[in-house]
Amino acid sequence: MLRAPLVVLLLVANMVRWGLPLVLLGIVKFAVHMTAPRSRLRTRVILALARLAERWVAGNDRIFDRMLPVEWDIEGIGDDVRPPGHYLIISNHVSWVDIFVLFRAFHGRAAFIRFFLKQQLIWFPIVGQACWALEFPFMRRYTPEYLAKHPEKRGKDLETTRRACQRYRNFPVAVANFVEGTRFSRRKRDEQPSPYRHLLRPRVGGISFVFDSLGEYLDATYDVTIAYPGGETTLWAFISGKLKRVVVRARRVEPPEPEWVRPWIEGLWREKDALLDSLV
């Protein structure tokens, strides 16, 4: 009964401890950007922000290790992954826990991970502003009805992807993309309908833009499969100790030629679906 509230309290305290300095340094970054947007000073500030964020990740991991009975089963992240590099991480999306899982799996190996976030999250206290300071790209999703009335907005999220990836050329980064675009559920799978048992249909637009903007800078692309054996997948199950085991299987994959992105990702998804048969 007490574990979940205590874990939440510790996570909030850790967020405040490192998030407030991130936000303040983000204001400094904004001031530098206004005066010298392409300066080395701006890059140094971004690297300092990433170091603060890594300490936030380390603090979260200590809380999980001391408070939760989770077995972390992580395999496949090679010794060739280095913090100074540029990496693309492609993953399935099961739960909000996935974000903590990817941070843990790549912490101390790759550079700090950036995710593509919904625009509304920028207003979440401390976290949203810290993500803005860390150069997370915020995506504004429009409904089909809105796009029908405002066709000029179509493709804006992909343009956000392109601009973010162009900025990432200037400093080490790991870009994580949940290719399905939303968390998996059986209802969503059946509504699509998806040809996979454990996955939604992959969306290739964002990945194509990452390859187009960062391709020559990427040191490696990793295909990551996340599974929660036992059926408990929610964030509440995680922080309350009901989620007992997290499985991560990563593998380095060769990126395709631009015209073959869709068949390439669909092939990865068929293999991932078969792997999940043995993991869940």
Q: Which residue has the tokens 């790549």?
A: 106
How much is the pLDDT for 119? Answer: 80
How much is the pLDDT for 143? Answer: 58
How much is the pLDDT for 211? Answer: 87
248 belongs to a structural domain: yes
Count other C-beta atoms under 10 Å from residue 180's C-beta.
Answer: 22
The amino acid sitting at 219 is D
268 belongs to a structural domain: yes
pLDDT in tens, 224-253: 999 999 888 999 999 999 999 999 999 999
Q: Rounded to an integer, what is the distance from CA 125 to the centroid of its chain? A: 19
62 belongs to a structural domain: no
What domain range is 271 assigned to? 72-279
| Burial (0-12, 13-18, 19+ Cβ within 10 Å), 91 | buried
How much is the pLDDT for 38? Answer: 73
What is the rounded distance in angstroms from the CA atom of residue 9 to the CA atom of residue 12? Answer: 5
Contacts of 159 (CB under 8 A, 6+ apart): none
pTM of the model: 0.91
30 belongs to a structural domain: no
88 belongs to a structural domain: yes
How much is the pLDDT for 218? Answer: 92
Domain count, the chain: 1
C-alpha distances in angstroms, 109 versus 80, 254, 268?
A: 9, 19, 24
How much is the pLDDT for 279? Answer: 93
pLDDT < 50 regions, the chain: none
* DSSP characters over the chain: --HHHHHHHHHHHHHHHHHHHHHHHHHHHHHHHHH-TT-HHHHHHHHHHHHHHHHHHHHHHHHHHHH---EEEEE---TT--TTSEEEEEE----THHHHHHHHHHTTTSSPEEE-EEGGGGGSTTHHHHHHHTTPPEE----HHHHHH-GGGTTHHHHHHHHHHHHHTTS-EEEEEETTSS---HHHHHHTT-S-SS-PPP--HHHHHHHHHHGGG-SEEEEEEEE-TTS--SHHHHHTT---EEEEEEEEEPPPPGGGHHHHHHHHHHHHHHHHHHH-
173 belongs to a structural domain: yes
Report CA Rg, the chain: 19
How much is the pLDDT for 144? Answer: 60
How much is the pLDDT for 158? Answer: 66
244 belongs to a structural domain: yes
45 belongs to a structural domain: no
Contact between residue 178 and residue 93 where contact means Cβ atoms under 8 Å apart: yes
